[in-house]
A and B are shown apart, each in its own frame.
Chain A
Amino acid sequence: MKKRLLMVGLLSLGLAAGFLAVTPAKPVAAADPAKEAELDRVNLIKKIRPAVVAVYIKDFSRDPRGSIAGGGSGVIIDKEGYCLTNFHVVDHGGQITPTFACGMPNGELYDAVTVGVDRGGDTAMIKLIPKKEGDTFPVAELGDSDTLKPGDWTMIMGNAQLLSTDFTPSVSFGLVSGVNRYVDFGFAEHTDAIQYDTTANQGNSGGPIFNMKGQVVGLVFGGAPGKRGAFNTGIGYGLPINMAKNFLGHMRGGLFSDHATLGATVSSQASEESDVVKMTVNQVLEDSDVGRRGIIEGDELLNFAGRPLTSVNQFKSALGIFPKEWRLPLTYRRGNEKKDTLVRLMSLTPAVVKKKDAPPGGPGGGAPPKPRAFGAGAKFWEEKKGFTNYYFNRQVRDALLADAKKLGDYSPLTGEWVWTGTYDRDMRGGDFLVKIEDVKDPANPKDTTPEVTLALGAATYKLNPLKQGLTVVELSEPPFSGGLMMAAYQYRRFLTLGAKGSEREACHFAGVEPVYLMPADGSKPKKYEDVRVFAEVIRTEHADVPAKWYYYKAALNPQHKDKPLYPDGTLFAAEVTVSRDQDPCELYFSDFKNVGGRELPHRIEVRNGDKRYAMFNVKVTTLK
Chain B
Amino acid sequence: MRLMIAIMCLGLVASSGRATDPYSKTASAANEKLVKLFGAGGFRGAESFGTGIIISPEGHILTAATPFLDGRELRLHLPDGRKMPFKVKVIEPEFDAAILEIVQPKKDALPLDLPYFDIKEAGAKLNVQTGDWVMALSNMYNVATRDEMLSVQRAMVTAIGKLSARRGAFEVPFHGDVLYLDTITNNPGAAGGAIINRKGELLGLIGKEFRNTQTDTWVNYAMPLNTKAEINIKGEKKTFTLAEFADLAMQGKWIKSERPEVRETKGPTAYTGIIFVPRVVERTPPYIEQIDSNSPAAKAGLKPDDLVIYFDGEPVYSTDTFRDLLKRYSPGDKVQIEIRRGDKLTAISLDLQPLPKR
Contacts and interface: CB of A to CB of B under 8 A. Distances in A.
Interface of A: 29-30, 32-34, 36-37, 40, 149-153, 174-181, 183, 195, 197, 212, 224, 226-230, 232-235, 268, 270, 273-277, 310-311, 313-314, 362
Contacts of B13: 29-30
A200 to B, nearest CB: 13
B340 interface: no
A275 B82 contact: yes
Interface in B81-130: 81-85, 105
B144 interface: yes
29 contacts: A33-B18, A36-B17, A36-B18, A150-B24, A150-B27, A151-B21, A151-B25, A151-B28, A175-B135, A178-B143, A178-B144, A195-B143, A197-B151, A197-B154, A227-B188, A227-B312, A232-B184, A233-B184, A234-B140, A235-B184, A235-B187, A270-B83, A273-B85, A273-B105, A275-B105, A310-B146, A311-B146, A311-B148, A314-B148
Nearest to A175: B154
Nearest to A34: B19
Given A274-B83, A310-B146, A197 B17 contact: no
Contacts of B135: 151, 175
Contact of B183 (A150, A234, A275): A234
Contacts of A232: 184
B149 A150 contact: yes
A266 B10 CA distance: 56
Nearest to A227: B313
Given A36-B18, A230-B184, A314-B148, 18 more contacts: A37-B17, A37-B19, A149-B24, A151-B28, A175-B153, A175-B154, A176-B152, A183-B143, A197-B151, A197-B153, A197-B154, A233-B184, A235-B141, A235-B187, A273-B85, A274-B83, A276-B82, A311-B145
Contacts of B152: 150-151, 175-178, 197
A229 B335 CA distance: 11
B22 to A, nearest CB: 8
Given A175-B152, A311-B81, A33 B147 contact: no
Contacts of A153: 21, 23
B345 interface: yes
The 4 closest A-B pairs by CB, nearest first: A234-B184, A151-B24, A227-B313, A151-B23
A509 to B, nearest CB: 38
B64 to A, nearest CB: 17
Given A234-B153, A235-B187, A310-B147, A152 B17 contact: no
Nearest to B141: A224
Contacts of B218: 228
Nearest to B31: A150
B305 interface: no
B330 interface: no
A317 to B, nearest CB: 9
Nearest to A177: B151
Nearest to A180: B148
B14 interface: yes
A230 B187 CA distance: 12
B26 interface: yes
Contact of B10 (A29, A150, A151, A313): A29
B82 A178 contact: no
B185 interface: yes
B314 interface: yes
Contacts of B146: 268, 277, 310-311, 313
Contacts of B314: 227
Nearest to A362: B345
Contacts of B145: 311, 313
A37 B15 CA distance: 10
A311 B83 CA distance: 12
Nearest to B347: A362
Contacts of A29: 10, 13-14, 17
Nearest to B190: A234
Contacts of A276: 82
Contacts of B147: 310-311
Most chain B CB neighbours (cut-off 10 Å) among A37, A151, A177, A274: A151
A388 B81 CA distance: 42
Interface in B20-58: 21, 23-28, 31
Contacts of A30: 13, 17
Contacts of A152: 21, 23-24
A449 to B, nearest CB: 60
A277 B82 CA distance: 8
Given A150-B27, A151-B28, A178-B151, A277 B140 contact: no
A235 B151 contact: yes
B140 A235 contact: yes
Contacts of B149: 150, 178-179
Contacts of A212: 21
Contacts of A224: 141
A174 to B, nearest CB: 6
A268 B146 CA distance: 11
Contacts of B187: 226, 233-235
A36 B84 CA distance: 47
Interface centre among A32, A178, A179, A230 (most CB of B within 10 A): A178
A620 B197 CA distance: 73
Contacts of A151: 21, 23-28, 135, 152
B84 A275 contact: yes
Contacts of A314: 148
Contacts of B23: 151-153, 175
A276 B146 CA distance: 10
Given A227-B312, A274-B83, A310-B81, A181 B143 contact: yes
Contacts of B345: 362
Contacts of A233: 184, 187
A119 B346 CA distance: 29
B18 A235 contact: no
B30 to A, nearest CB: 9
Contacts of B336: 229
A270 B188 CA distance: 27
A285 B59 CA distance: 43
A275 B10 contact: no
Contact of A174 (B154, B185, B313): B154
Contacts of A34: 19
B233 to A, nearest CB: 37
Contacts of A36: 14, 17-19
A197 B183 contact: yes
A313 B17 CA distance: 40
Contacts of A175: 23, 135, 152-154
A40 B16 CA distance: 13
A449 B85 CA distance: 73
A212 B153 CA distance: 17
A312 to B, nearest CB: 9
A229 B184 CA distance: 13
A249 to B, nearest CB: 30
Contacts of A179: 149
Contacts of A230: 184
A524 B250 CA distance: 56
A275 B28 CA distance: 21
Interface in B181-222: 183-185, 187-188, 218, 220
A235 B153 CA distance: 9
B195 to A, nearest CB: 14
Most buried by A among B27, B185, B188: B27
A513 to B, nearest CB: 30
B48 to A, nearest CB: 15
Contacts of A311: 81, 145-148
A276 B187 CA distance: 30
A36 B183 CA distance: 25
A174 B13 CA distance: 25
- A40, A175, A180, A195: residue with the most chain B Cβ atoms closer than 10 Å: A175
A64 B76 CA distance: 60
B141 A226 contact: yes
Given A36-B17, A37-B18, A152-B21, A195 B81 contact: no
